[in-house]
Amino acid sequence: MLQDDLNFKSGFAVLAGLANAGKSTLLNKFAGVDLSPVTHKPQTTRQNILAICEGRDYQIVFVDTPGFLHAEYKLQEVMLNSLNQAVSEDADLVLFVYDATSTLSKHLELVKKLKELYCPILLVINKVDLVKDKDELLKIKNAICAQLPIKKVFYVNAKKGEGVDQVQRAVADYIPFSPPYFPKGQLTDRWERFYIAEFIREQIFLLYNQEIPYSTFVEVETFTEDLGDKNFIRAIIYTERENQKAILIGKGGSAIGKLRKNAEDRICQFLQKKYRLELRVEVAPAWRSNVKQLKKFGYID
Ligand SMILES: Nc1nc2c(ncn2[C@@H]2O[C@H](COP(=O)(O)OP(=O)(O)OP(=O)(O)O)[C@@H](O)[C@H]2O)c(=O)[nH]1
Ligand SMILES: [Mg+2]
């Protein structure tokens, strides 16, 4: 083994926090690309997403997770399991992402879970731009540090990327000496199809309200890569009820037309290639509570 290999560090840094705390925004800043869907709605992230970041002598695998929640239906239980598994089994380090406008009382259960961990925990107080009175930030820090063995605290505006580099440097310090987990230059561990479905779902979260985003699952049926100008993607949006299907489509197809356009732009921008997106809506009754459907959709192994 070369001397340099012995000095190499590598590890999994898991982002944990409540829904809407800004975990995916932060992950995207680490990645340098908008990999993980970000929306103003809670529970946007449903599955763990990896962003692999490299330095000269380290490779950090950042893990975005679903926000901590009280599971009411099976899909939420699966989301919570993803978070639990990431922090309890995979993490070499946890980044506790805390929305500075939130309250500690909403975090009691999550704090209880974090107390059980043996790995280092770094506290990232995010959305500091929304807090006028900076003394408030100090109070948040003191309250959390009284509860958890926090190694370091960061004040961050993830949306603007302010304070993010300092977090990454600290993570590189705290991860263990280890050979890299992934080949050099790899950004993530999933295929394009996964991100295409995620970006369509992201645009659904941005365009539709109430229960609609939560009731949808997106499946990429066809993804062509060798047809030049004629490359296309065909995707199915599953929803739970006929009336939700009607809302998704909209009068004369107006709503789905807008969704198609926005999602197509997002996908083409990410893949840096031109694709024509085709969408179809189907009903899969109560799929969020149906283990068989969740397996079919890939939420359960
Ligand atoms: N003002 C402000 N808004 C932010 C900041 N970071 C994230 N946001 C916004 O907060 C909202 C939620 O961000 P996400 O990154 O989707 O949050 P999340 O923790 O991944 O949420 P879930 O996936 O639902 O658990 C989005 O509207 C972001 O633009 C920040 O530093 N300042
Ligand atoms: Mg998220």
Instruction: Kindly give the distance from the C-alpha atom of residue 119 to the centroid of ligand 1, in angstroms, as a whole number.
Output: 25
Two tokens, residue 34 = 């908008």
Instruction: Kindly give the distance from the C-alpha atom of residue 92 to the centroid of ligand 2, in angstroms, as a whole number.
Output: 20
Same domain, 197 and 72: no
How crowded is residue 3: how many other Cβ atoms within 10 Å of its Cβ?
Answer: 6
Same domain, 160 and 265: no
Residue 47 per-residue DSSP state: S
**What's residue 3's pLDDT?**
52
Q: How far apart are CA 79 and CA 99, in angstroms?
A: 20
What's the CATH code of the domain at 25? 3.40.50.300
Tokens 């998704």 belong to residue: 248
Same domain, 170 and 206: no
> Ligand 1, from 159, 198, 202, 204: best to mutate by most atoms within 8 Å of Cβ?
159
- Give the residues of the chain that fall short of pLDDT 50: 1
How many domains does the chain fold into?
A: 2
Q: What SS3 string covers 166-235?
A: HHHHHHHHHCCECCCCCCCCCCCCCCHHHHHHHHHHHHHHHHCCCCCHHHCEEEEEEECCCCHHHCEEEE
**What's residue 30's pLDDT?**
98
What's the CATH code of the domain at 288? 3.30.300.20
Q: Which atom of ligand 1 is nearest to the CA of 21?
A: 19
How crowded is residue 226: how many other Cβ atoms within 10 Å of its Cβ?
Answer: 6
Instruction: Kindly give the distance from the C-alpha atom of residue 39 to the centroid of ligand 1, in angstroms, as a whole number.
Output: 7
**What's residue 83's pLDDT?**
97
Contact criterion met (CB below 8 Å) for 167 and 174: no
Q: 203 CB less than 6 Å from ligand 1?
A: no
Residue 265 lies in a domain: yes
| Nearest CA owner, ligand 1 atom 2 | 127
* Domain assignment of residue 254, given as a range: 192-296
Residues in the chain: 301
**What's residue 228's pLDDT?**
83
Mark which of 139, 174, 209 sits at the end of a domain. Answer: 174
pLDDT tens, position by position, 254-288 = 999 999 999 999 999 999 999 999 999 999 999 99
Instruction: Report H helices in the chain.
Output: 3-6, 23-31, 74-85, 108-115, 135-145, 164-174, 192-207, 242-249, 254-271, 291-296
Same domain, 15 and 154: yes
DSSP strand pairing (217-223 vs 121-126): unpaired
Residue 187 lies in a domain: no
Q: 159 CB less than 6 Å from ligand 1?
A: yes
Two tokens, residue 162 = 């302010």
pLDDT tens, position by position, 229-246 = 899 999 999 999 999 999
Q: 10 CB less than 6 Å from ligand 1?
A: no
Instruction: Kindly give the distance from the C-alpha atom of residue 5 to the centroid of ligand 2, in angstroms, as a whole number.
Output: 34
